């Protein structure tokens, strides 16, 4: 009798649960269907009745981009060209000219030609401005003109470009391009190996493993893994790279989403290469996503000492979802949590300030590593040992973003001869020359103080202040401007490092830059010194 009663109670509860879940789903579905119908009718009536001719494709593209703008910057609509670029980026192989190119309205800027590839063979240099491709002027091309540089291996493309004010032309024979995940590795000294892992494409694990084994074969008993400026990539590669240094079955990362099927625990599934070799991982403010999974989890597992500067803080996972006509939606599906359970996402895109900007996390929660060391969430991966020269600041970032450092390096390259990377030295005289270059350029950036003062002065409600007060404000703004120029001296070390990096690449490509790092880079020198001191290394990790 009791069993019968129990059934009578359970069945209505299950039915009620299903009803609630079903109602919720139907409610969401109805709302989505309703909004789609409204948009469809609006789009149809607009295009049929607007007084001038409309371009439905452009209108739709604008509508989609504006809709996604309110979300995070990683959720993007990918057209067919974008889908192909996304595939190429992850695969690490494509056919083209072999150069990093930045797109502007009226030109394409060669940022970095890769050594030995078509653009380099054709004589193109960083700083060259492509103004015409074939018969098409870049300024007249409405879409992304860099697409015109792509083509099948062996095909040719004629270009016209501007260099130092002079117009030149050349023909590029397109070739197969391989994008290495590990562009450089070498012994720093007799017992310490150095590996640069620049991106997490499909080659990341295999190339890191190959480099690690080769270095061990050459006598490496300690390893420095450089993840600085690594923007991330494939989640699976991040787990497998971590697996090279930790045992099979270790929890590396957990993803949590509102969609249950995206909630997963990712554990190492392969036999490691070496779980004991002392390891230092270098990160900086441009180390993001997959780089933070590797560095964060190796820190959480007390498997490596992390050195450098606080990482970028991207704790979000994206997945491409197929749409119609070969398009895709790259959508943020979940947050990821490193081995200790922390999410290192630094910007809150779901709560914004009065200007619509994402709010940066300033309050962090404490977590503990396997050995009981304190680590925190919400602001990237904070290194165990910070290196001052690796840190960045608003002034340095503004100089980089406004191409001031890039443009100075271009002028420096065409004005100075450097025969060997070992002979290169950026002197104080050179830095003074750079300061003069900044003063003569149109470089400017607005500090928070300037913005507040400017806002305080604008508006009719401040007329009662009187001219004397306003003049004082203007004097203060002028002094702030002078202070920004003087700040070049304050941040000379950080700025000079970026200048040296950019200049050396002009003469000796990226390979020469990494070679220069081995004997000049503060972070690598500090990492090597730490690895020589086993007691200090173990004390940082809390090893007994």
* SS3 category, 100: strand
- Please give the Cα distance from 161 to 134 (Å, whole number): 11
| Residue tagged 């054709």 (tokens) | 122
Yes or no: say if 233 and 90 are a contact pair by the CB < 8 Å rule: yes
Q: How far is CA 357 from the centre of its chain?
A: 19
Residue 392, CA distances (Å) to 216, 389, 491, 493, 501 in order? 34, 8, 9, 10, 14
Quickly count: other Cβ atoms within 10 Å of residue 150's Cβ: 17
Residue 16, CA distances (Å) to 11, 27, 217 in order? 9, 16, 65
Phi first, then psi: what are they for 4, rounded to 5°?
A: -65, -45
Residue 69 burial (C-beta neighbours within 10 Å; 0-12, 13-18, 19+): exposed
- Please give the Cα distance from 65 to 78 (Å, whole number): 10
The Cβ-side half-sphere exposure at 331, using a 13 Å CA radius, reads: 13
Helices (H), 56-123: 56-69, 80-91, 118-121
- Please give the Cα distance from 132 to 108 (Å, whole number): 9
Residue 522 burial (C-beta neighbours within 10 Å; 0-12, 13-18, 19+): middle
- Please give the Cα distance from 38 to 448 (Å, whole number): 42
**Shortest CA distance to 342 belongs to which of 318, 313, 362, 371?**
313
Yes or no: say if 269 and 252 are a contact pair by the CB < 8 Å rule: no
Instruction: State both tokens at 415.
Output: 């004005």
**Shortest CA distance to 175 belongs to which of 156, 201, 203?**
156
| Residue tagged 């996503």 (tokens) | 289
Quickly count: other Cβ atoms within 10 Å of residue 251's Cβ: 18
- Please give the Cα distance from 73 to 332 (Å, whole number): 9
- Please give the Cα distance from 212 to 225 (Å, whole number): 10
Instruction: State both tokens at 533.
Output: 């001191």
The DSSP code sequence of 471-511 is HHHHHHHHHHHHHHHHHHHHTHHHHHHHHHHHHHHHHHHHH
**Nearest 10 degrees: Cα torsion 425, 224, 509, 199:** -140
Annotated active-site positions, please? 289, 300, 314
Instruction: State both tokens at 74.
Output: 């990683």
Phi first, then psi: what are they for 292, rounded to 5°?
A: -80, -25
Instruction: State both tokens at 543.
Output: 């090893």
Using only the alpha carbons of the chain, give its radius of gyration. Answer: 27
């Amino acid at each position: 009798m009791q069993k019968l009663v129990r059934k009578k109670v359970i069945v209505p509860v299950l039915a009620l649960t299903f009803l609630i879940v079903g109602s919720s789903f139907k409610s969401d579905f109805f709302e989505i269907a309703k909004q789609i119908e409204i948009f469809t009718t609006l789009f149809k009536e607009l295009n049929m009745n607007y007084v001038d001719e409309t371009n439905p494709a452009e209108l739709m593209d604008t509508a989609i981009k504006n809709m996604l703008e309110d979300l995070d910057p990683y959720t993007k609509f990918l057209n067919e060209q974008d889908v192909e670029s996304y595939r190429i980026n992850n695969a690490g192989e494509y056919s083209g000219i072999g150069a990093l190119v930045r797109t502007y309205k009226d030109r394409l800027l060669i940022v970095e030609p890769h050594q030995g590839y078509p653009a380099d063979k054709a004589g193109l240099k960083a700083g060259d401005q492509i103004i015409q491709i074939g018969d098409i002027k870049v300024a007249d091309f409405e879409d992304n003109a860099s697409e015109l540089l792509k083509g099948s291996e062996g095909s040719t493309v004629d270009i016209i470009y501007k260099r130092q004010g002079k117009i030149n032309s050349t023909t590029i024979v397109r070739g197969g391009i391989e994008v290495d995940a590990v562009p450089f590795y070498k012994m720093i000294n007799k017992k310490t190996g150095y590996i640069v892992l620049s991106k997490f494409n499909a080659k990341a694990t295999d190339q890191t493993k190959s480099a690690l084994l080769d270095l061990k074969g050459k006598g490496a008993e300690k390893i420095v893994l450089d993840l600085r400026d690594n923007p991330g990539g494939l989640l699976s590669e991040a787990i497998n790279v971590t697996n090279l240094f930790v045992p099979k079955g270790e929890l590396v990362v957990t993803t949590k989403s509102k969609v249950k099927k995206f909630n997963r625990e990712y554990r190492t599934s392969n036999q490691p290469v070496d779980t004991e070799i002392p390891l230092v991982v270098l990160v900086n403010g441009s180390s993001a996503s997959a780089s933070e999974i590797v560095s964060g989890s190796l820190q959480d597992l007390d498997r490596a000492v992390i050195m450098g500067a606080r990482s970028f803080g991207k704790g979000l996972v994206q997945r491409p979802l197929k749409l119609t006509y070969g398009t895709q939606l790259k959508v943020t599906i979940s947050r990821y949590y490193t081995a200790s359970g922390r999410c290192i996402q630094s910007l809150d895109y779901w709560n914004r300030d009065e200007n619509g900007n994402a709010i940066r996390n300033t309050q962090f929660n404490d977590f503990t590593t396997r050995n009981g060391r304190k680590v925190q969430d919400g602001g990237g991966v904070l290194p165990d040992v910070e290196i001052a020269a690796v840190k960045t600041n608003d002034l340095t970032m503004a100089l980089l973003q406004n191409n001031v450092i890039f443009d100075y390096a271009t002028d420096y390259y065409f004005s100075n001869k450097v025969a060997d990377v070992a002979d290169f030295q950026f002197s104080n005289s050179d830095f003074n020359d750079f300061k003069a270059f900044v003063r003569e350029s149109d470089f400017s950036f607005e500090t928070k103080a300037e913005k507040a003062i400017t806002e305080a002065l604008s508006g009719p409600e401040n007329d009662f202040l009187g001219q004397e007060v306003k003049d004082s404000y203007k004097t203060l703004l002028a002094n702030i401007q002078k202070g920004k120029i003087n700040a070049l001296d304050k941040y000379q070390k950080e700025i000079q490092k970026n200048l040296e990096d950019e200049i050396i690449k002009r003469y000796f490509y990226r390979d020469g830059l990494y070679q220069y790092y081995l004997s000049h880079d503060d972070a690598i020198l500090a990492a090597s010194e730490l690895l020589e001191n086993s007691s200090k290394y173990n004390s940082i990790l809390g090893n007994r």
